[in-house]
Homo-oligomer: A and B are copies of this chain.
Amino acid sequence: MAKWVYTFGDGQAEGRADMKNLLGGKGANLAEMASLGLPVPAGFTITTELCTYFYDNGRTYPAELEAQVDAALAHVEQVMDAKFGDPDNPLLVSVRSGARASMPGMMDTVLNLGLNDTTVEGLIKRSEDARFGYDSYRRFVQMYGNVVLGIEGSHFDQLLEEMKDDRGVDLDTELKAEDWKELVGAFKALVERETGQPFPETPKQQMWGAIGAVFGSWMNKRAITYRKLHDIPASWGTAVNVQAMVFGNMGDDCATGVAFTRDPATGENAFYGEYLVNAQGEDVVAGIRTPQNISLAGKARNQSPLPAMEEVMPELYRQLDGIRERLERHYTDMQDMEFTIQQNKLWMLQTRTGKRTSAASLKIAVDMAREGLIDQTTAISRIDPAQLDQLLHPMLDPKADKQVLTKGLPASPGAASGQIVFTADEAEDWAKRGLKVILARVETSPEDIGGMHVAEGILTSRGGMTSHAAVVARGMGTPCVAGAGGIRIDASAKTLSVGGTVLKEGDTLTLDGATGEVIAGEVPTIQPELTGDFGTLMEWVDKIRRLKVRTNAETPEDARTAIKFGAQGIGLCRTEHMFFDPKRITHMRQMILADSEANRRAALEHLLPYQRQDFVELFTIMRGLPVTVRLLDPPLHEFLPHGDAEVAEVAQAAGTTPDEVRRAAAQLSELNPMLGHRGCRLGITYPEIYEMQAQAIFEAAIEVSKTDGETVVPEIMIPLVGTQAEFDMMKAVIDQVAQKVFAASGTTLTYQVGTMIELPRAALVADAIAKNAEFFSFGTNDLTQTTLGMSRDDSGPFLEVYRDKGIYEKDPFASIDVDGVGALVELAAEKGRKTRPDIKLGICGEHGGDPASVHFCESVNLDYVSCSPYRVPIARLAAAQAVLHSKGSGTA
């Protein structure tokens, strides 16, 4: 019989930390903490396999589940010495989701479950607090009614407001026990009106309702969106954790908090956390009350006026600090812990690997390796290459003048400027129109995910470092200033007031997520320093990785940036980008409109000096590193003008009529330009174009070799080859030009001629192509388009649906489609090497900077990846992780 339920509590547990896939992160770690003897309220976890069963079987449970849950519940009752439905000593439980990967706030939770008109009296008896008892009861009815029974929360709020009006009070805290009791009655009546059923009275009935709601919430819209953004497969499912309640809100000897074993923003090795006295756990993360620091150091750092836990509850702080050390040593990683203090007793409610900023991630990994807690390879495995991105982007120029309006919490680092918008929907609308926005909210909620994702930065006026806004922004790598209390946000008026200043929708604002500063207008930024921990990590990385990392660059600026980031050459220099310069485009168009080879050659003569100078600059910057130059690739019509004025201008320059230009453009236009007259097809039909480019490359290489004394070895790449004959013909053209240039200059140099493998046919006949091709560079952008028969430009409308339905888990244009495109890459690599064992193999599509794709490249033993300059460090790290992964070491 399948085991669907795992218990924990009282110093033992059926689960373990390494059973995350089965028990979810929360359940596995609760079990682990219980086994470690930490004070964990007893409970049980229903497995993720049950979730899969649930969805595979029309949202039903297996027959044997009920008996297993009953047995687990009995275990909890025994450990906690309380009973479900016991009028004197009732067991109350929480029912929470817990997936393999953390999805904060995305799924449903029910607290205080087990309360009814009988058991509330037992709770009152034991807490000696009728107001607390009825407040808990009404919270439960409201939460259950909303989450399980689907009644809108505002209906309950309205009843509460009416009650306060009726009593003539402003604050919840002014309501008395009898008021809460009356409200329970009103809430239950609301439930019966809305659902046609009385509110479920028996705790078991309540529990099964909550379990169903939590499993059901795996498929709610928020959760689906979150999974899509974080590449979490729907097939993983969630577990459900049913755990005895402990209360942080039974009085002033109670508290609740969230703590990190190290600072999640900076990575500093200091105990960092926030707590609230007399509060439920949700209050800390919901941002309703501004929480207090747990340590004195943290209080000082945040300049908080509120007392630290270290002062208020020194013994409990000491206990917690001990647990902190034990957990970090046990897990060998920074932990994010939730705790509750009920009547001076500390209970641990959760531990998990703590989310952290990119900077913190880097610092923690490097520090822990230095401390000997982990080794260098583990440190490398710990860094998410995508997160590293953050560290590589511009920061505010410290020397720039800036008008700081106010300061909030430095919740997620990085600098961002943009126009203010006040709702997530507006953020999405504006971003679609190409505008950069700062999303300003009092606080964010899971509904805001979409808008947060497109915003350059996020600003909230309420909430702490662990508020929803802060946690989500850090995960996204989006700069965030949270809890900026000096700001008043009026979303309906679309204004943001700070001091005397009032900013409106569309005004520009800058956030510095590293300092918490909120700044008027736009502030200049500078490049980050790539030294310190970053430099150390990169040193470790470079010792391990096998793949070389090149860059895709055609401008001197890109080439310089890439060199700074450690690029080992240029893997793709797209020559067509060089022709769009206004000085050149005219000649390019003359060339295209030429009616004879002689006229084409005349126009190309004009382009030659420009093209040669491009290569002189690139070769000079790259100082002897390899440079792969791709010959002209796009269809010629891409260079022709569209507007009337421009057409007239071109006509004049080309000595023809606008009608003639339009006629030529119409004749060149294509139904499917992606599959049209481009790539080496241009070289085959107009060899003179490639001749000019080859001449420019060779002349530039010779010039730079002479001037700089560096050996320039140009690699000339022929695009869109599908047959050996195409390659051979184009190589012959290039070789001929080389001989001419060498003869004219009285010098020679070494060069290579290779091809881009970007058509399925090229992969299939790679053995033949390799006879004369000295390198292959996999053009996975086009190879994806042709292999999948999917135009990148046109796939938006259905690819969205495809990802929703799980047909492609990831965007195949961002991360290589291993089963399809990958299979062709592997085949071509094998066939190429069979013909020419030392053939140089690389990848130069967008995928070159995608960590998963880099792993794939390692697995098929390519020689290098090439990516955009800013992605070079990411690729370096991913390349090292791929080596570790293939060796089975590391934890990534």
Contact = CB atoms under 8 A, between A and B. Distances in A.
Nearest to A797: B677
Contacts of A677: 794-795, 797-798
B805 A789 contact: no
A858 interface: no
Contacts of A758: 789
B820 A722 contact: yes
Contact of A823 (B673, B759, B764): B764
A819 interface: yes
A808 B765 CA distance: 14
Interface residues of A, number: 49
A764 B764 CA distance: 11
A65 interface: no
A153 interface: no
A526 interface: no
Interface string A785-803: 1111111011101100110
A675 B674 contact: yes
Interface in A658-698: 670-677, 681, 684-685
30 contacts: A670-B794, A671-B673, A671-B674, A671-B793, A672-B672, A672-B674, A672-B791, A672-B793, A674-B674, A674-B789, A674-B791, A675-B790, A675-B795, A677-B798, A685-B798, A685-B801, A722-B789, A722-B820, A723-B807, A759-B787, A760-B760, A760-B786, A760-B789, A760-B820, A760-B824, A761-B787, A761-B819, A764-B819, A786-B786, A786-B787
Closest 6 CB pairs of A and B: A675-B791, A761-B820, A672-B791, A760-B760, A676-B794, A759-B789
A338 interface: no
A759 B791 CA distance: 13
Contacts of A443: none
Interface string A360-388: 00000000000000000000000000000
A872 to B, nearest CB: 29
A602 interface: no
Interface string A141-156: 0000000000000000
B794 A673 contact: yes
A789 B675 contact: yes
Nearest to A759: B789
Looking at chain A's contact residues, the main secondary structure is helix
Contacts of A789: 674-675, 720, 722, 758-761, 782, 786
Given A761-B817, A764-B824, A807 B725 contact: yes
Contacts of A817: 761
B765 A820 contact: yes
Interface centre among A673, A675, A759, A790 (most CB of B within 10 A): A675
A673 B791 CA distance: 8
A787 B764 contact: yes
Contacts of A764: 787, 819-820, 823-824
A185 interface: no
Interface in A810-834: 817, 819-821, 823-824
A138 to B, nearest CB: 41
A798 B797 CA distance: 32
Contacts of A801: 684-685
A806 B759 contact: no
Given A670-B791, A722-B820, 16 more contacts: A672-B673, A672-B785, A672-B794, A674-B791, A675-B675, A676-B794, A677-B794, A677-B795, A681-B798, A729-B807, A759-B787, A760-B824, A761-B787, A764-B787, A765-B819, A765-B823
A788 B782 CA distance: 12
A805 B729 CA distance: 9
Given A764-B787, A789-B758, A671 B794 contact: yes
